[in-house]
Structure 1
Amino acid sequence: MMTISDLPEELESEILSRVSAKTLWELKTTCKRWYALFRDPRFVEKNKKLGKAVRESMLRSNDMVYSMAGDLHSSYTPIKLTGKLRDLKGSKDLYSSDIFHCDGLMLCSNEGSSKLVVWNPCTGQRTKIKARTCGSNDIYALGYSTSSSSSSSCGHSYKILRCFEFLNDQEVWVPQCEIYELCSGSWRVLDSFSHDYFEYCNGMSLKGDTYFVARDKETGFFLMKFDFTAERFVRLPLPFQSIHSEDTATLSVVKDEKLSLLHIDDRSGVMTIWVTNKIDDDEEEAKDFSWNCYLVVLLQMGFDKFHLWSVESFLLDEENRVAVCCRYKYMGDGGRTSIYIVGKDMCEQVYEDTIKPSKANYPVVLTYLPSLVLVQTKRHT
């Protein structure tokens, strides 16, 4: 009887590339050939495109990271936390005050700590990284530059962006950006940048680059992109103009192809969601970049009691024209993380924390496709 191992290697590889990444990782010890194949950058990239992976969900709340079960796009299915996510050996819970997703990898950081973790939830691989200094207002992002000569998975060179401020000898706060390259295990200062603004929301990774909603006093809100290949910041337009600091503006990614923006006008109580056109890997910054209005919700008509003006993160369901909104809900005993399904004529709560937080901790909900991307293990010394 013929088995898969009897097939030509090219055909065997073609068949396996269509299997989900999680299943393949469970099969990695089947034979040495498969173990090597699952670590081959070309196969990893092919599996990302062809593999029958199912999106998984995470919630970061109260410094903990949880896996989630339930249909995030259904108001009839309560969302449940299936357990705290743990470290590689399963002996300790994974603590994180912030989490950033890129290409199936997670960057976890803790406020006031110089320790970072890059982690692949699918394979369990992780590497610890130490920042050069500690800070309380650090902003981190994970991305990659693409190089045909790169030895990293899928031809990508993974990097960490760190933005922060430090007090110089004249006791003046000075902005600074640093880059950490996982392949070399070293930090370096990014000299050429202008930081006359501040990031308004957590960044989102798309095609290896990171996008922030930023704001300055003169022009108000705008979109800021960090190009990890060119290692530079680029300003891009937003579909609305506002200098009102109480407005809410939050980014999300749709099917790893487009950006989505949720804006809540604090004065009118109108929530609007826009979606960009498809962003290609080789697309120039301003070329053909456009926004389309996708959903408008008048929060003041029937939604007052939910006070959705404090949405921290969201996911967009294009097919059902609803948004999954995650927020920090202020209450008498401190506050809770809550998740709502919001549409043109609906607003349903599907989850709320039962744990009283020790401090305000702004939650993040995200979905990701499990990937075989390898976590580089060279450490900073």
Structure 2
Amino acid sequence: MPSSTMKQVEMEWDIPLWMPQELLRSIFKRLPVRTLIKWQFVCKDWTNLLNDPSFIQEHLQYSAHENPSLLFCCRTVHNTLGFCTVDSEMQVLPVESLPLIEFLRGATVIGSINGLVCVKSNYKLISILLWNPAISKFRLLTKEANICVKMGFGFCAIVKDYKVVIISHHHHGHGCTGLIHQVEVYSLSTYSWKKVEFGRLFDGLEISCDGFSTNGTIFWSGFKEGNDHLLVSYCIATEEFALIPSPISTPVLSDSLFLRLSVYENKLALLSHTTSGNFEYTLIDLWVMEEGKDNKSEERWSWTKKYSVKHPYYLLPSSVWRNMIVCHYAEILRERNVPKWIVDGILLVNLTTNELKRFAFRRNGFDFGIFNYVESLVPVDKIHI
């Protein structure tokens, strides 16, 4: 006899429990994760389907195409992290907080891939949280390491694996030198760490931020002597590093320059922000990287400027989302000819029309980050797609 849960599903959603498998997959891949989680124990066939790696991938691909979202990470006055998401309909949805409050205190978000969010904390140990907010599952890694680290998190479809990369700098007194002395990689498929050789590639190199991942490669922004900006890439499949020339000629340490890596039309993108000397306008450029087939050629990478526009606001571009650049913004007022930033919030810049749209987002803290995100059923305990 059908259970009460079965009857409720049939009545509310008009989905008969017994139907062809392909039809059921077609229906389920269109449903939000929170609905599927409620249904996973309705019957054995549904349980098996919702845990089938091929269906998890099918649901992920549909969600990424039809409902790309944003993840807002907000730091409160108590130095803890809070999260919410914004879906393609511009609806703000809260994210259930984790019980690891002490871990989240002082932590930062590295990035989000396929619905998994990577968070790091440098409190006593290097702690890494791999978390799927949609299914409320996480995996916590702790490692004794130098506190002066830059990290990256990415996925490669070729090797079907998620990897965390830790790049350690030398520690000296109360600060870090620019010298890189060790690279370690954690594989989620094998649950193990390994050291990666990089030779003299990093001589004189300083990495300025945590990594951004797309298409099986993790990228970091950095610079060498003379403040020449460049990118560092790590291929997850081959475990090889490379240095990529940058399209930016302005010294990376310039006070007027702000850089952020993102993705545009499934390619690596570089968002740059510069301001005029008197903060009269902001210039935003969007560069897209084209990658050639010859891995040994110096001309393997080339950049194309896809977008450039001036705006009378102080804008810090964060990511490209649904043909828009998501920016932190502040209007500038002058008191005795001294610029003052006010009305901090979110501004969406349309890449086609240049239209500006203010996004009414209520902040719960004084500092926050924005990341591209998609809800998924991807597990964090057994990664096999």
Q: CA RMSD in A?
A: 4.2
Secondary structure class of the residue paired with 1:265: strand
Is contact 1:336–1:353 with CA below 8 Å preserved after alignment? no
What are the superposed Cα offsets for residues 329-374 of structure 1, whole Å, 9 maximum, x if unpaired? 99999999632334686666545776675xxx5x321231111111
Is contact 1:314–1:326 with CA below 8 Å preserved after alignment? no
Q: Aligned pair 1:227/2:227, yes or no?
A: no
Q: In structure 1, how many angstroms separate the alpha carbons of the residues matched to 2:27 and 2:321?
A: 32
Q: 1:346 to 1:133 in 2, by over 3 A?
A: same
1:99 alignment partner in structure 2 = 110
Q: In structure 2, how many angstroms separate the alpha carbons of the residues matched to 1:266 and 1:274?
A: 15
Deviation (angstroms), 1:325: 0.7
2:186 alignment partner in structure 1 = 180
Q: Aligned pair 1:25/2:29, yes or no?
A: no
Q: In structure 1, how many angstroms separate the alpha carbons of the residues matched to 2:329 and 2:235?
A: 29
Q: Aligned pair 1:166/2:170, yes or no?
A: yes
What is the identity, as a one-letter code, of the residue corresponding to 2:328? Answer: C
Q: Aligned pair 1:9/2:18, yes or no?
A: no
Q: Aligned pair 1:294/2:302, yes or no?
A: no
Is contact 1:132–1:187 with CA below 8 Å preserved after alignment? no
Is contact 2:319–2:372 with CA below 8 Å preserved after alignment? no
Q: TM-score, normalised by structure 2?
A: 0.73
Listed as ranges, the gaps of 5+ residues in structure 2 are 1-9, 334-338
Listed as ranges, the gaps of 5+ residues in structure 1 are 74-78, 148-154
Deviation (angstroms), 1:44: 1.7
Q: Aligned pair 1:48/2:50, yes or no?
A: no
Q: 1:291 to 1:13 in 2, by over 3 A?
A: same
2:48 alignment partner in structure 1 = 36
Q: Aligned pair 1:254/2:260, yes or no?
A: no
Aligned partner of 2:325 among 319, 323, 329: 323
Is contact 1:224–1:235 with CA below 8 Å preserved after alignment? yes
**How many pairs does the alignment contain?**
346
Q: Aligned pair 1:364/2:369, yes or no?
A: yes
What are the superposed Cα offsets for residues 302-321 of structure 1, whole Å, 9 maximum, x if unpaired? 33xxx33xx26233442xxx
What is the identity, as a one-letter code, of the residue corresponding to 1:187? Answer: W
Q: 1:50 to 1:314 in 2, by over 3 A?
A: closer
Max Rg structure:
2
Aligned partner of 2:346 among 327, 335, 339: 339
Secondary structure class of the residue paired with 1:44: helix
Deviation (angstroms), 1:114: 2.0
Is contact 2:348–2:356 with CA below 8 Å preserved after alignment? yes
Q: In structure 2, how many angstroms separate the alpha carbons of the residues matched to 1:45 and 1:347?
A: 35
Q: In structure 1, how many angstroms separate the alpha carbons of the residues matched to 2:69 and 2:242?
A: 31
Q: Which range moves more in the overlay, 112-121 or 212-221?
A: 212-221
Is contact 1:84–1:93 with CA below 8 Å preserved after alignment? no
Q: Which range moves more in the overlay, 338-347 or 106-115?
A: 338-347
Q: 1:31 to 1:185 in 2, by over 3 A?
A: same
What are the superposed Cα offsets for residues 60-109 of structure 1, whole Å, 9 maximum, x if unpaired? 23241320458798xxxxx96x546412x698895532331112110011
Higher strand fraction (1 or 2): 2
2:97 alignment partner in structure 1 = 86
Is contact 2:325–2:348 with CA below 8 Å preserved after alignment? yes
Q: In structure 1, how many angstroms separate the alpha carbons of the residues matched to 2:23 and 2:251?
A: 58
Give aligned-pair identity as a percent: 17
Deviation (angstroms), 1:127: 0.6
Q: In structure 1, how many angstroms separate the alpha carbons of the residues matched to 2:205 and 2:218?
A: 16
Q: TM-score, normalised by structure 1?
A: 0.73
Q: In structure 2, how many angstroms separate the alpha carbons of the residues matched to 1:212 and 1:41?
A: 30
Aligned partner of 1:61 among 59, 65, 74: 74
Q: In structure 2, how many angstroms separate the alpha carbons of the residues matched to 1:92 and 1:172?
A: 25
Q: In structure 1, how many angstroms separate the alpha carbons of the residues matched to 2:304 and 2:238?
A: 28
Q: 1:17 to 1:330 in 2, by over 3 A?
A: same
Q: In structure 1, how many angstroms separate the alpha carbons of the residues matched to 2:246 and 2:50?
A: 40
Written as runs of structure 1 = structure 2, the 5 A alignment for 1:255-274 is: 257-266=266-275, 271-274=283-286
What is the identity, as a one-letter code, of the residue corresponding to 2:258? Answer: T
Q: In structure 2, how many angstroms separate the alpha carbons of the residues matched to 1:15 and 1:278?
A: 37
